[in-house]
Structure 1
Amino acid sequence: MAKAPESISLDQLDKDQMKTFSDFLMSYNKLSEICFTDCIRDFTSRDVKDSEEKCSMNCMEKYLKMNQRVSQRFQEFQVIANENALAMAQKTGKH
């Protein structure tokens, strides 16, 4: 029994959403681990010190800016790669 095209696209949408969410969680966990390791030094109190909070915020901002910059560069690279592939296909007569 074959699946209807609508259910196939819904299945793919669900898989894509799960992949996106999984990627987000991995990134969030990595960010948390890095910033916790770099910033938290005192485990003798339940309170977060001002210096730890400031360090954590700076760490988070730097990580997110770096992640955004890498994503931007990757997109730029993809555009160039696609343009080169299209030019090569046109040059060889295949499109």
Structure 2
Amino acid sequence: MAKSPESIALEQLDKDQMKTFSDFLMSYNKLSEMCFTDCVRDFSSRVVKESEDKCSLNCMEKYLKMNQRVSQRFQEFQVIANENALAMAQKTGKL
């Protein structure tokens, strides 16, 4: 039995959502591991020290700001690349 276009579209949407969620989890795990490794030094107590807590919050904030900035710059470059491609297509008459 052939699948309907709606069914195929829903399957693709599910795959895309799973990929997005998987990417988020990988990024979260990378951030957690990186900040833990950089900030936690004393394992002699069950209590997280104030300095470790502050360090991990600063680490997370810097990482998220850097990630946001990189994404913003990538988006800016994509807009420029798209504009250049459109201009080149118009110039060569392929549009």
Runs (5+) with no aligned partner, structure 2: none
| Residue correspondences, number | 95
Post-superposition shift, 1:2? 2.6
1:13 matched residue in structure 2 = 13
Q: Displaced runs of 4+ in structure 1, greater than 2 A?
A: none
Identity of aligned residues (%): 88
Q: Does residue 1:49 correspond to 2:39, yes or no?
A: no
Q: Matched residues in 1 for 2:38 and 2:31: separation?
A: 11
Q: Matched residues in 2 for 1:71 and 1:2: separation?
A: 40
TM-score normalized with structure 1 length: 0.97
Equivalent AA in structure 2 for residue 84 of structure 1: N
Residue by residue over 1:19-44, the C-alpha shift from the partner in whole angstroms, topping out at 9 and shown as x without a partner, is 11011001100100110000000001
TM-score normalized with structure 2 length: 0.97
Runs (5+) with no aligned partner, structure 1: none
Equivalent AA in structure 1 for residue 44 of structure 2: T
Residue by residue over 1:27-70, the C-alpha shift from the partner in whole angstroms, topping out at 9 and shown as x without a partner, is 10010011000000000110000000000000000000000000
Q: Alpha carbon RMSD of aligned pairs, Å? A: 0.7
2:88 matched residue in structure 1 = 88
Post-superposition shift, 1:18? 0.6
Q: Matched residues in 1 for 2:69 and 2:2: separation?
A: 44
3-state SS of the aligned residue for 2:3? coil
Structure 2 counterparts to residues 14-93 of structure 1, below 5 A: 14-93=14-93
